[in-house]
Structure formats: structure tokens, C-alpha cells
Amino acid sequence: MPSRRNFVKTSLLGTAAIAAPAAGFASIAAQGAAREFYELRTYQLKDARQQALVEDYWKNAAIPALNTLGIKNVGVFTELKPEGQTRIFVLIPFGNMNDFLKMTAGLDKDGIYNEKAAAYLNAPATDPAYERIESSLLEAFAHAPKLALPGKNARIFELRQYQSASESAGKKKIEMFNDKGEIDIFRRLGFRPVFFAETLIGELRPNLTYMVTFDDMAAHDSHWQAFGSDPEWKKISSDPNYADAKLVSKITSTFIVPTTYSQI
């Protein structure tokens, strides 16, 4: 009988075949070596005990094991100002789709990982390690094909998602980032972007997700003010083909901070 984790992996790939456009998977095959992929996990937790268990898992079991598999720069974050128990966000980068596909099998074979992860992996239904995991598979934008590390100084991170009402609107918004210079504006203004990516599999599709960083909230406010008044941004956003009212149906923003053991 297949393990639960293998079942999850098989289910995820089956969903991909249904949910992702054929052109998107052609892109994966053609450009997988050039662009990174990311798994973004969000843990829903009910109390501090669950948070401690999930954090122990990532700090002492998952990150060391993933690093051994060649999967580096794993980010683990908590909310800056949680409402109740914080959520935990995990960003796992993959150099290509093959690395993603090998991850579960590699962890299953790692005896040290399974020993250190036992409390998390084997938590009973009556006392679970977490309430639920939301997971998405993302593909990096062509104009930002690799994750950029912002440095280890104290920083806050902003995780933003732009949802679109249709696949064509979502692609047009990605075009705005890639081809019309929006990513370059972020870089020029010092936002220190970590990644820009399209959600291939996950909730609330179609959407794109990206992460930018700041020294503090005052820096966040001043950077976004500069962005809104930037002449190049005004030029791009004034094009009726790229109006947010046409391309974006909802924007969500979450402020997060890295844990002490986060590699981002």
C-alpha cells in the first residue's frame, strides 16, 4: 500500500494535469532548467504546542534533510502581527521539477530525518501537529528566474498575491511584470525582491505571488509611496491594457518575519 506522503504527491501531480493549462506544462518542460519552482506551504495552527512542534520539525528534521538532498535556501516565517495563533509559512525552492519530484522519495529513505521528524509525522488525529496545510506549486517569472537572498540583517517580508478573474488577465499581469518593466522598478527602488512566481497548482487560481523585503514598516511605507509616484510605473499603469481594474480582482498582503533558523 502506498504511503500517505506518496499518495499526496500522486494526488498533487494528478491535480496538475487537470488544473494547469497545457501550455503551462510545455513551458515547464522547455524552461524547467532555467527557472526555479517553489512550494509555498501555509500551516494553520491552533495553539503554541502545535507551533513548537512544526517549528521543531523544520529546524531539526526537514531543513537539514532537504539540504542533504541539495535543496537549499528553505525559508520559514511567522506572521509579524498574527490575529490569534500565528500561521507558519514555508518556502521551498527547487532548481527544476525533477528536484520537486524526488523530494518525497528522498525524505522517505532518510533514516535520520524520519527519526527526528517522528513526533510531527506520527502525531495522532486526536492531537495533530497542525490543523491544516495549504500548499501551492509556483514557477518563477522569466525576468526573475532565481530566488534572491536579501541578507541576514533584521528585516520584514511582505508576501503579496494578485488574483485575476481569468487566465488571460492573469497572463497579462505577468506580462506587465516580465516584459513591461515592473520587476525592474522594484529592483531600482530597493524593494529587495526575493521571488516573483505564477501559481501552477494551488488555491485561488489564477494568481501570481511575490515576496519583497524591508528594514521595517517605515521603510515599507516609503518604498511603496515611491513606487506609486515613480514615472515609469505611472507610464506602465496608465496603459489601458494593463489597468489593475482590468487585470487584478483581489490583492492580499501578509507581513511575515523569518524564524531564527530560516535560510531566507
pLDDT digit string, tens, across residues 29-51:
444 448 999 999 999 999 999 99
**Statement: residue 221 has pLDDT above 80:** yes
Kindly state the percentage of the chain with pLDDT values over 70.
88
Locate the DSSP E strands across 25-155.
37-44, 75-79, 88-94, 132-140
- Residue ranges of the chain that CATH labels 3.30.70.100: 4-139, 141-258
CA distances for 189 relative to 102, 126, 174, 227, 234, angstroms: 38, 50, 20, 7, 14
Sorted by sequence, the CB contacts under 8 Å of residue 212 that are 6+ apart come out as: 157, 158, 160, 186, 191, 192, 193, 194
Query: What is the rounded CA–CA span in Å between residue 229 and residue 259?
Result: 33
Residue 146 has pLDDT above 70, yes or no: yes
Which helix (H) or strand (E) segment is 231 a member of? Answer: helix 231-237
Q: Decide which of 20 and 227 is more confident.
A: 227
Q: Which residue has the higher pLDDT, 185 or 245?
A: 185
SS3 71: coil
Q: What average pLDDT does range 60-88 have in this prediction? A: 97
Model confidence at 16: pLDDT above 90: no
pLDDT at position 160 over 60:
yes
Q: In the chain, what are the helix, strand and coil shares in percent, each to the nearest 5?
A: 45, 25, 35
**What per-residue confidence (pLDDT) applies to 10?**
40
Domain with residues 4-139, CATH architecture: 2-Layer Sandwich (3.30)
Indicate the pLDDT class of residue 138, thresholds 50, 70 and 90: very high
Position with higher pLDDT, 59 vs 3: 59
25: three-class secondary structure by DSSP: helix
What global pTM score does this model have? 0.85
Q: Which CATH number fits domain 141-258: 3.40.50.720, 3.30.980.20, 3.30.70.100, 3.40.50.300?
A: 3.30.70.100
Mean pLDDT of 95-114: 95
CA-to-CA distance for 178 and 93, rounded, in angstroms?
20
